[in-house]
C-alpha cells in the first residue's frame, strides 16, 4: 500500500526535472550525445580523470561521469605526499541541467569558501565540518566530509585526493550530494573536478559539474593534530557498517522482498536496518553510479528534526529540571504579539504535540476533520519560509488565528509551532543557566556528544546582532548521517539511557514511543485493521500485529519527501531517506518484524 498523504516542512513550487528511473533508468537523459563510457563503471586503466585532464585549463566535460572515477581505479597505492593546505577557488562556475530558481542567487555558482584539509595516512580530513558560507553570489552553502588520498600506477609524481560534500540552502534543509577530486604533489595542485548527481530534495532535481581552478596555500595548521585525534575518535565511536548482502546472508534474501515497497532506487538516498549495533546499508544510488561515500552522506532530515532535535531537547530539559518542564507556558518565555488570546494556555507539550489550538484554515475548523495538514500549506507558511531572523519568524508565526477549541484537543500540524517551541526552550535555558546558555549547545554537549556524535550541522536563524541570539529552527534543519540516526534511535529505544547515564527523561521517552496507555491525538493517516494511528510528542504511530500474539503501536519519525525512521520495540531501527513523497513506513516495519519478534 502506498501512502498518498503529504506532510512536513515546506514546499517550493519551482520545479527542475531530470530524467530518473530504476537501475537502468538511473541513467539520465543527456543534454547532448556523449561517450557512453561516462555512464559505465570504471575499469583499469582509468579512462577519465587522468592527469592530462585534471591539469588542463581548457578541458571541457559535457556531463557528469560515473562516480567510480572519483575514487581509486585499479590498484591503489599510498599517497606519495602529505597534504596540509587551504584551497582557495579561483573559479566557481559550474555547468548543469539548468533552470532559474525563484530565490536570489545563482545555483550554478559554487560557494567561494576556503577548503582546509589535512591528510593522515589514507584519510583526507576537513578542518571545518560546520556549514560553510561563501561571500559570492552563490545560492549554496557547503558541508564537507572526510575523504581519502592515494596514488595510482600511472600518476607519475602526483597523488590523488577525493572528498564528499553537500550543497545546501541557508534555510531549506535540502541536500545535493556531490563528490570532488584533485591531484597534488609537494609543490602544486591540479584543477578541482566536482559533480553533484543525487539529492534529497523533492521539488528540485538536477546535475551539476565543473572543473574549478584552485590555489593551494601549504601550511601547518595549529590544530591539525587535534583534528586528526578527533577524527580517529569519531571513527572509533562509529557503529560498524556492513553491506545489505551481509544481512541477506543472515536471514535469507527473500526475507527482504518489498523492504522499500515499490519505490524507485533513483528516489532513495539511503536506506537500511540497524540491528545489534550494526548498520546494514543498501548502496546509495545516484544518476551516475553508486555514491562512494555512502556512510558519510548527510541527509536533509526535514521534519524528522522535530523528533531527533526538538523532542530530544525537551526530553533532556525534563531530565535536568523535571518532567513538569513540558507544562511550562509558551507565553512566559516569549513575547507573543498575536491578535487573540489563544496562546494563553499553550504549553511546551502542546507545541511539540501539534495541538496548540492555533490555525488559519477555516475550511477545516470542525473537530472531526481529518485534514491535519491544512495549516502546513496555507498562508502564512509561505511568508514564514522567507524570513531568516528569530523575531521576524516569530512575528509571522503569531499571525495564525485561533481555532474554536483549546490546546491539547485537536491535531493540526504546523511547523511554525516547533520553531516557537525552540525559541521558548532557548529562553528557558537562558533563565536557568544564564544569558550565554543556548538550547543547541545543551543538546550537542549533553546528548549528541556523549552518544559519540561529533558533528551535527543544523540550520539556525540568521541574526544581525550577536551570534548568541541565533537559535536552531528545529522544525527542520538537521543533517545527520546514518550513524547519527542509529545513535539517536538507540538512545530512544533504551528509554533515554546511554550506558549507565540517563540522558533523557525516561517517562517522556516511553510516552513518546507509545509504550504507555497514553497515545496522543489521532492522525487517521495509517489507520488499519489493528487500530488507529496517532501523533504524540513529535512521533507518529502505526498499529501492527503478527496476527497471532499481540498488537503493538510502532513509533516512527517522518520528514518531507519521504524520510522515515521506524523505531521498532524489538530494538531494530529501519530507515529510509528519500524524495519520493511516500510516507508509508509499513514495508520497513513488515520486513523488520521478520528479523525478530515484536511481541516477545
The answer to whether position 89 is within a domain reads yes
Cell numbers at residue 492, please?
530512544
- Is residue 594 classed exposed, middle or buried when 0-12, 13-18 and 19+ CB atoms within 10 A define those classes? middle
**What domain count does the chain have?**
1
- Domain of residue 105, residue span: 24-233
The helix-helix angle for 415-433 and 390-397 (nearest 10°) equals 130
The answer to whether position 473 is within a domain reads no
Neighbours of 105 (CB within 10 A): 15
- Sign of the CA dihedral 97, 108, 67, 213? positive
The answer to whether position 208 is within a domain reads yes
The answer to whether position 85 is within a domain reads yes
SS3 track for 521-579: EECCCCCECCECCEEECCEEEEEEECCCCCEEEEEEEEECCCEEEEECCCCCEEEEEEC
Residues 143, 429 contacting (CB under 8 angstroms): no
The answer to whether position 171 is within a domain reads yes
Cell numbers at residue 26, please?
538511473
Long-range contacts from 43-50, C-beta under 8 angstroms, 24+ separation? 43/73, 43/74, 44/73, 44/74, 44/75, 45/73, 45/74, 45/154, 46/73, 46/74, 46/152, 46/154, 49/181, 49/193, 50/154
Residues 7, 354 contacting (CB under 8 angstroms): no
Cell numbers at residue 369, please?
476533520
- Model pTM score: 0.92
The answer to whether position 456 is within a domain reads no
- Is residue 460 classed exposed, middle or buried when 0-12, 13-18 and 19+ CB atoms within 10 A define those classes? buried
Per-residue pLDDT of the chain (600 residues; tens, 9 = 90+): 333 333 433 332 222 222 222 233 333 444 444 567 788 899 889 999 999 999 988 777 788 999 999 999 998 999 999 999 999 999 888 888 754 444 445 788 999 999 999 999 999 999 999 999 888 888 899 999 999 999 999 999 999 999 999 999 887 898 999 999 999 999 999 999 999 999 998 888 888 999 999 999 999 999 999 999 999 999 999 999 999 999 999 999 999 999 999 998 889 999 999 999 999 999 999 999 999 999 999 999 999 999 999 999 999 999 999 999 999 999 999 999 999 999 999 999 999 999 999 998 665 666 667 889 988 877 899 899 889 999 999 999 999 999 999 999 999 999 999 999 999 999 999 999 999 999 999 999 999 999 999 998 999 999 987 767 899 999 999 999 999 999 999 999 999 999 999 999 999 999 999 999 999 999 999 999 999 999 999 999 999 998 777 899 999 999 999 999 999 999 999 999 999 999 999 999 999 999 998 876
The answer to whether position 534 is within a domain reads no
Whole-number Å distance between alpha carbons of 372 and 375: 8
Question: 3-state DSSP call for residue 511?
Answer: helix
DSSP type of residue 377: S
The answer to whether position 305 is within a domain reads no
The helix-helix angle for 312-321 and 482-493 (nearest 10°) equals 40
Query: What stretch of H or E contains 304?
Result: helix 304-305
Long-range contacts from 334-339, C-beta under 8 angstroms, 24+ separation? 334/394, 334/420, 334/423, 334/424, 334/427, 335/394, 336/398, 337/395, 337/398, 338/398, 338/399, 338/400, 338/402, 339/399
Cell numbers at residue 305, please?
528534526
Whole-number Å distance between alpha carbons of 277 and 281: 13
Amino acid at each position: 500500500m502506498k501512502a498518498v498523504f503529504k506532510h512536513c516542512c515546506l514546499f517550493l513550487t519551482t520545479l527542475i526535472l531530470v530524467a530518473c528511473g530504476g537501475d537502468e533508468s538511473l541513467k539520465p537523459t543527456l543534454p547532448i550525445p556523449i561517450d557512453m563510457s561516462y555512464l559505465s563503471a570504471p575499469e583499469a586503466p582509468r579512462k577519465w580523470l587522468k592527469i592530462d585532464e585534471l591539469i588542463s585549463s581548457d578541458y571541457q566535460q559535457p556531463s557528469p561521469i560515473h562516480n567510480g572515477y572519483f575514487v581509486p581505479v585499479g590498484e591503489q597505492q599510498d599517497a606519495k605526499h602529505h597534504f596540509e593546505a587551504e584551497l582557495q577557488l579561483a573559479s566557481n562556475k559550474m555547468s548543469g541541467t539548468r533552470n532559474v530558481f525563484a530565490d536570489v542567487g545563482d545555483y550554478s555558482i559554487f560557494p567561494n569558501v576556503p577548503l582546509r584539509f589535512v591528510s593522515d595516512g589514507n584519510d583526507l580530513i576537513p578542518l571545518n565540518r560546520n556549514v560553510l558560507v561563501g561571500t559570492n553570489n552563490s545560492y549554496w552553502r557547503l558541508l564537507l566530509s572526510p575523504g581519502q588520498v592515494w596514488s595510482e600506477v600511472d600518476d607519475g609524481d602526483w597523488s590523488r585526493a577525493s572528498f564528499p560534500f553537500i550543497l545546501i540552502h541557508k534555510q531549506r534543509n535540502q541536500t545535493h550530494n556531490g563528490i570532488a577530486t584533485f591531484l597534488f604533489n609537494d609543490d602544486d595542485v591540479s584543477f578541482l573536478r566536482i559533480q553533484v548527481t543525487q539529492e534529497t530534495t523533492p521539488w528540485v532535481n538536477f546535475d551539476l559539474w565543473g572543473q574549478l581552478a584552485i590555489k593551494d596555500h601549504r601550511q601547518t595548521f595549529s590544530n591539525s593534530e587535534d583534528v586528526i585525534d578527533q577524527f580517529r575518535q569519531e571513527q572509533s565511536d562509529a557503529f560498524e557498517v556492513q553491506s545489505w548482502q551481509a544481512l541477506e546472508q543472515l536471514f535469507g534474501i527473500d526475507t527482504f522482498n518489498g523492504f522499500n515497497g515499490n519505490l524507485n532506487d533513483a528516489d532513495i538516498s539511503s536506506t537500511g536496518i540497524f540491528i545489534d549495533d550494526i548498520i546494514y546499508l543498501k548502496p546509495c544510488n545516484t544518476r551516475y553510479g553508486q555514491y562512494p561515500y555512502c556512510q558519510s552522506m548527510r541527509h536533509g532530515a526535514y521534519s524528522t528534526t522535530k523528533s531527533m532535535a526538538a523532542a530530544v531537547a525537551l526530553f533532556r530539559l525534563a531530565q535536568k529540571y523535571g518532567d513538569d518542564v513540558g507544562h511550562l507556558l509558551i507565553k512566559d518565555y516569549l513575547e507573543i504579539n498575536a491578535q487573540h488570546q489563544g496562546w494563553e494556555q499553550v504549553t511546551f507539550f502542546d507545541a511539540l504535540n501539534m495541538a496548540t489550538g492555533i490555525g488559519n484554515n477555516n475550511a477545516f475548523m470542525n473537530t472531526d476533520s481529518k485534514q491535519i495538514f491544512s495549516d502546513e500549506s496555507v498562508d502564512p507558511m509561505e511568508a514564514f519560509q522567507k524570513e531568516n531572523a528569530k523575531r521576524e519568524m516569530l512575528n509571522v508565526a503569531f499571525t495564525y488565528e485561533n481555532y474554536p477549541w483549546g490546546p491539547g484537543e485537536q491535531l493540526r500540524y504546523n511547523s511554525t509551532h516547533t520553531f516557537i517551541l525552540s525559541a521558548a526552550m532557548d529562553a528557558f535555558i537562558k533563565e536557568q543557566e544564564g544569558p550565554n546558555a543556548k538550547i543547541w549547545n545543551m543538546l550537542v554537549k549533553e546528548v549528541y556528544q556523549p552518544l559519540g556524535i561529533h558533528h551535527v550541522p543544523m540550520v539556525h536563524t540568521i541574526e544581525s546582532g550577536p551570534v548568541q541570539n541565533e537559535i536552531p529552527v528545529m522544525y527542520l534543519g538537521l543533517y545527520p548521517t546514518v550513524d547519527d540516526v542509529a545513535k539517536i534511535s538507540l538512545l530512544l529505544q533504551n528509554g533515554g539511557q546511554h550506558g549507565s547515564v540517563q540522558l533523557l527523561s525516561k517517562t517522556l521517552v516511553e510516552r513518546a514511543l507509545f509504550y504507555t496507555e497514553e497515545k496522543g491525538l489521532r492522525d487517521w493517516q495509517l489507520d488499519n485493521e489493528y487500530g488507529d494511528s496517532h501523533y504524540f510528542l513529535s512521533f507518529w504511530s502505526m498499529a501492527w500485529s503478527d496476527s497471532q500474539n499481540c498488537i503493538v503501536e510502532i513509533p516512527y519519525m517522518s520528514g518531507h519527501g519521504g524520510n522515515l525512521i521506524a523505531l521498532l520495540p524489538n530494538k531494530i531501527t529501519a530507515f529510509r531517506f528519500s524524495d519520493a513523497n511516500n510516507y508509508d513506513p509499513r514495508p520497513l516495519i513488515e520486513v523488520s518484524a521478520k528479523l525478530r519478534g515484536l511481541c516477545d
